[in-house]
Amino acid sequence: MAEKQKEMSFLGHLEELRWHLVRSAGAIFIIAILLFVFQKQVYEYFLLAHRKPDFVTYQFFCDFFNMLGMDSTFCNVTFKDNLISLKPTQQLMNAIWSSLILGIIISFPYLLWEIWRFVSPGLTKKEVSRSRGFIFIASLLFFLGIAFSFYVIAPISIHFLYNYQITDLIQNNFTMDSHIGLVTNMLLGVSILFELPVLIYFLTKIGLVTPEFLKKYRKHALVVVLILAAIITPPDIASQVIVAIPILILYEISIKVSKMVIKKQKKMHKKVQEFNDYRQKMNDKILASDNKVIKRIFNLDTNAFAEGHLPVKTKELLGLVASAVLRCDDCVQYHLEAAKKNGVSTEEMMETMSIANLIGGTIVIPHLRKAVEYWEALDE
């Protein structure tokens, strides 16, 4: 699959991308059509569920604040008027757009899978195996965000906004578009916010974010979270804390994720660095002895692997085979590093080592293990 992707032309990539987009759009439209068919149930039990006084969140907060000995407006939730439709086509268009948005939300795991299918042929086998859990984790966080938005943020916000009034001279008469837009925007916004650990993972991998950076601006993040919580919740501390806590937990999880990535990178980098430092130190000591024979051998080794009738890449792979057959781990690591610098792929390296195992026999297998481990360290 990887070789097929490499050989594919630019137009071939575009054609492949087109079919991924077609399948993704097809999944969204199929789910949207089903939701449109059952639009009454979707509206009454989901999009308009927060307008019911007996909604589970209102009951929970009422009982919770009563248990603390505090009065709460959640015990007297009322919505006086029905929502307004101002245009003949407003309900139809709202139903269509709501079905599409909910279609995107429900098909989110499939959309991620299509993205992964398009990207995976260009990844190494190790990268593919490591990314297998990405779809599950990203989807889990996404739907946790949907649940948190639906059961916590949306009811709190709607209860507050519907009852907020500057003066009695102003009457609240909300349209269905404004209410449905508020709910769907919160569902999408919060669910994307819950992808923070995944985002931090990738930003850390490419070096844009570090745990130290996240810790340094932790206080700033806390202020931003409390401001957001104050905006979308009623003006009481308890409600703000309820909204802020999960977001702060996500931020702390993101710091842990960033630490994990950095720790692994440092471990792999340390392995490579230690080998290079040791090799350089001992080479300097050996050459300092001023032995002409040794100097000539070193010079011959350098020139032998320079560009000639054979490209450097081929020479390094030949050196890798010879080093593995001779069971010289230091030599194997040296040629692995040189091969990596000259654009040797994981597939090419493994094929080269398979030839070494064929020539050298099964006694080379322990050195193959060390070679693969060092190659992974170079990948990091």
CATH number of the domain that residue 331 is part of: 1.20.1290.10
pLDDT at 268: 64
CA–CA dist 313, 278 (Å, integer):
24
With respect to residue 324, please indicate whether it lies within any of the assigned structural domains: yes
Choose between 3 and 151: higher pLDDT: 151
> How many Cβ atoms from other residues are within 10 Å of residue 254's Cβ?
22
Mean pLDDT of 161-180: 85
CA–CA dist 65, 71 (Å, integer):
7
Cβ atoms of 321 and 352 closer than 8 Å: yes
Choose between 309 and 379: higher pLDDT: 309
pLDDT at 185: 86
Structural domain count of the chain: 1
How far is the CA of 266 from the CAs of 129, 261, 262, 274, 377, in angstroms?
Answer: 21, 9, 6, 12, 10
Backbone φ and ψ for 14, nearest 5 degrees, come out as: -65, -40
With respect to residue 220, please indicate whether it lies within any of the assigned structural domains: no
With respect to residue 294, please indicate whether it lies within any of the assigned structural domains: yes
With respect to residue 367, please indicate whether it lies within any of the assigned structural domains: yes
pLDDT at 89: 92
Q: How confident is the model at residue 23 (pLDDT cuts 50, 70, 90)?
A: very high
3-class DSSP state for residue 310? coil
Q: Residue 124: which of 375, 377, 345 has the closest Cα?
A: 345
Residue 377 has pLDDT above 60, yes or no: yes
With respect to residue 73, please indicate whether it lies within any of the assigned structural domains: no
pLDDT at 147: 93
pLDDT in tens, 45-91: 999 998 888 888 888 888 887 888 777 777 877 787 788 888 899 99
DSSP assignments along 93-113, one per residue: HHHHHHHHHHHHHHTHHHHHH
With respect to residue 59, please indicate whether it lies within any of the assigned structural domains: no
DSSP assignments along 14-54, one per residue: HHHHHHHHHHHHHHHHHHHHHHHHTHHHHIIIIITGGGSTT
With respect to residue 341, please indicate whether it lies within any of the assigned structural domains: yes
Query: Which domain, by its residues, includes 336?
Result: 289-379
Q: How confident is the model at residue 8 (pLDDT cuts 50, 70, 90)?
A: low
pLDDT at 186: 84
pLDDT in tens, 275-312: 777 778 888 888 888 888 888 888 888 888 888 888 88
Mean pLDDT of 130-135: 77
Structure tokens at 5: 């992707």
pLDDT at 230: 67
Q: How confident is the model at residue 133 (pLDDT cuts 50, 70, 90)?
A: confident
Predicted model pTM? 0.69
pLDDT in tens, 193-238: 888 899 898 888 888 888 888 888 888 888 887 777 666 555 556 5
Residue 7 has pLDDT above 60, yes or no: no
With respect to residue 310, please indicate whether it lies within any of the assigned structural domains: yes
pLDDT in tens, 259-270: 888 887 776 677
